[in-house]
Structure 1
């Protein structure tokens, strides 16, 4: 990389930087193909375990005990990845998401932990392993064209690979690009030198994902909210947003505090804690089904599909079921954050959405504003990157985005500030949580 880029100044529009941009765009194509295959396999495994196989066995609705054997297998596979393979299965989710590329040698452990845990019931999302797959694949591809391992150019291209890999899963390549850039900036990286490569790779990745989806017909879904009714904003919605954001941020932070307290134990005894985490998750899912009569899937997995169902028909879930969902999924989320492997964002967004649906019964608090406030507050609490959180939730709202932007921004700021206040007594900073 040229001297200007390495010192953080605006890079020259020629020479080595143009070569870096070209490599980022070219690498985005094969990286996106690999990421597409990973997501398609993840989707197929999830559908097989929770839809296809139960339907063939005549288990409709799913019985309370169905998650237990699958979760135990998943815990064993994650434990093997952590204890037996390089890289300990990838990033520990309670520590947030890292924009640093994963070395290719750690890719087998990341894949085993992700494909063994996520489709079998772990309450985590696909974003962290997907970023690892993209970054590691990019590093493998660019090694013949960079001067050596550990160079700034290699780091930028690895980060661009992560952006390309997650360009669709967040619902928009713009979210992926901004998220990568904000995460890199919060960890001390020179954001100037990665702006254009990451945005280019994310755009190329979105095109490849779309083309592969149309060509293969394989479903690779992104985080989305279909079926939201057109909504308007009132003063009472804004007034309710502040206390709602504080309450949701406090609740989500407590989940992360529990995960943080369990993480050191999981570090010392990874296999035991992985099995304990899946056992707790199975108990939570079974108890939820026995108490509410609803599917245990409400408590399991990333919440991506459940979020779409909740947005389509929020009245289908009673207040009692929502409370039980928040309690049981929150507990399963905490132990998964500490002992399993995956991304922390998707379950947090779902918990915020469920809390928002629960709060829309407050006088003067509309359903869509409450949903928007809940998701924004939870996302800002889980992901202490406020710009990324605001853009992600705003784009999720689709046609309601323009009307709900004030609610989203207020909720993000209030939740982010609340999180900083809650972190201060423990000596943490937002940068440390995002590292």
Structure 2
């Protein structure tokens, strides 16, 4: 049997087997205290690894897009430069999927899914595929790889400390590692708790008991993250967008816009995922050929956008996490046409990346939502900050696969200066988008492939091992 997931281990009171300890009994046990200590301990190495992982991604992106063209004698980054760069990234992803153990991490087109803890054997594949994805410009984020690396590292440490650790304890320690890793990115242990709580689907009276080691690991990890900034001088990672336009009390018109934006995000996000699922079978059958081709498409879209506008290709490339604050702060420098072209190019590049690369689905969706909200804010009755907030929240819930609490919280973390005035309209947009996407879900992905290999459907993530 494979490693059990938190969803199968953590049961509600109605489904707990007879003789299992109650939450209070578990909380009072000596073993649980040891589990809390271990959770705090794993937060330190996980935060260190996450910190330098994110720093490596940041430096690699800057090197391949900006420094390397300059070193080769170009005055600036040529318009066509992203095309070979993302193709090289696609080739490296294809090689890692073909020759390294595992599947390189979760399928990002599925949204944010917290599955089984990755084994130590599979961690190099996750790291290699995600770094090739993120460094060369594919339109995905670092959150999903961080969760897998954090959980895998935490379980590895737990097994080194106690070789005969029970499976349930390893699941909780793995979750603690995921908390610590994702909290370094989101700069908030509570945001990490919301994300993983909704993704895993933990419920019942065991919630607090299971989350406590993870929250402790996340809190310790956050301290380590701040300390590493002072030691290394690399800088901090912050989600909050400073200097955003002030927003007044929500109006009736803004609630109407929240409904409209929620509907639009539900349709657009579903279309992005639908296209990704349509492309995936072709990529999985010929990974070594198809992933570089997918990279050419992503790079071509970035080059097209840079050629048509006076903006750089980085607006289309990468996850959009670092490009989002300047997009909002410099909104006056963007025309409606440029914003609409950005949404179109980024959405297509995002869809191709979801189908072929390895990374997280969160930040590109947030960026597309923000760009769409900015474009709509040129219309009457929609303030800029409100449009951005509604767009970010609505697209986030769709691309995460339906995590409404997390979508609202992430939006408010980004726009925290106006969180109080935004919360009501963001909630409306998120709920409308969530329901719309759920209604469209039968259309969002094609029928499963015909049964093969003895009557069982072929696994797209492993098909390339038989068809290099």
Q: TM-score range by the shorter chain?
A: over 0.9
Which residue of the partner structure matches residue 421 of structure 2? 403
Moved more, 207-216 or 416-425: 416-425
Contact 2:302–2:313 under 8 Å retained in 1: yes
Deviation at 1:255, TM superposition (A): 0.4
Aligned pair 1:52/2:70, yes or no? no
1:46–1:150 Cα change, 3 Å = farther
1:54–1:272 Cα change, 3 Å = closer
Moved more, 371-380 or 189-198: 189-198
CA displacement 1:202-221 (0-9 Å, x = unmatched): 11111111110111111352
Which residue of the partner structure matches residue 215 of structure 2? 199
Aligned pair 1:307/2:319, yes or no? no
Contact 2:105–2:126 under 8 Å retained in 1: yes
Which residue of the partner structure matches residue 362 of structure 1? 379
Q: 1:418 aligns with which of 414, 436, 442?
A: 436
Alignment of 1:314-325 (within 5 A): 314-325=331-342
Deviation at 1:184, TM superposition (A): 1.3
Contact 1:163–1:199 under 8 Å retained in 2: yes
CA displacement 1:310-355 (0-9 Å, x = unmatched): 1211111111111111111111110100111110101000000000
Which residue of the partner structure matches residue 154 of structure 2? 138
Deviation at 1:289, TM superposition (A): 1.3
Q: 1:298 aligns with which of 297, 300, 315?
A: 315
Return the alpha-carbon distance in structure 1 between the equivalents of residues 277 and 386 of structure 2.
31
Which residue of the partner structure matches residue 433 of structure 1? none
Q: 1:111 aligns with which of 113, 127, 142?
A: 127
Structure 2 portions without partners, runs of 5+: 1-8, 447-468
Q: What SS class does the counterpart of residue 310 from structure 1 fall into?
A: helix
1:150–1:67 Cα change, 3 Å = farther
Alignment of 1:77-226 (within 5 A): 77-100=92-115, 101-146=117-162, 148=164, 151-185=167-201, 191-226=207-242
Q: What SS class does the counterpart of residue 114 from structure 1 fall into?
A: helix
Which residue of the partner structure matches residue 262 of structure 1? 279
Return the alpha-carbon distance in structure 1 between the equivalents of residues 205 and 129 of structure 2.
28
Aligned pair 1:351/2:368, yes or no? yes
Return the alpha-carbon distance in structure 2 between the equivalents of residues 46 and 295 of structure 1.
14
Return the alpha-carbon distance in structure 2 between the equivalents of residues 33 and 425 of structure 1.
42
Structure 1 portions without partners, runs of 5+: 429-435
Q: What SS class does the counterpart of residue 135 from structure 1 fall into?
A: helix
Q: What SS class does the counterpart of residue 311 from structure 2 fall into?
A: coil
1:398–1:8 Cα change, 3 Å = farther
Aligned pair 1:339/2:351, yes or no? no
Which residue of the partner structure matches residue 328 of structure 1? 345
1:187–1:302 Cα change, 3 Å = farther
Q: What SS class does the counterpart of residue 105 from structure 1 fall into?
A: coil
Which residue of the partner structure matches residue 64 of structure 1? 79
Deviation at 1:151, TM superposition (A): 0.2
Deviation at 1:58, TM superposition (A): 6.7
Which residue of the partner structure matches residue 242 of structure 1? 259
Q: 2:90 aligns with which of 72, 75, 81?
A: 75
Deviation at 1:133, TM superposition (A): 1.4
Which residue of the partner structure matches residue 432 of structure 1? none
Contact 1:43–1:219 under 8 Å retained in 2: no
Return the alpha-carbon distance in structure 2 between the equivalents of residues 340 and 189 of structure 1.
38
CA displacement 1:144-203 (0-9 Å, x = unmatched): 344647701101111110110111312322111211122111699964542111211111
Q: What SS class does the counterpart of residue 106 from structure 2 fall into?
A: coil
Which residue of the partner structure matches residue 403 of structure 2? 385
Which residue of the partner structure matches residue 281 of structure 1? 298
Contact 2:152–2:174 under 8 Å retained in 1: yes
Return the alpha-carbon distance in structure 2 between the equivalents of residues 168 and 229 of structure 1.
27
1:413–1:117 Cα change, 3 Å = same
* Structure of larger gyration radius: 2
CA displacement 1:406-434 (0-9 Å, x = unmatched): 01111111111111101145699xxxxxx
Question: TM (normalized to structure 2)?
Answer: 0.86
1:107–1:283 Cα change, 3 Å = same
Q: What SS class does the counterpart of residue 322 from structure 2 fall into?
A: helix
Q: 2:40 aligns with which of 20, 25, 47?
A: 25
Deviation at 1:61, TM superposition (A): 5.2
Query: What's the C-alpha RMSD, in Å, of the aligned pairs?
Result: 2.5
Aligned residues: 428
Which residue of the partner structure matches residue 43 of structure 1? 58
Moved more, 14-23 or 75-84: 14-23
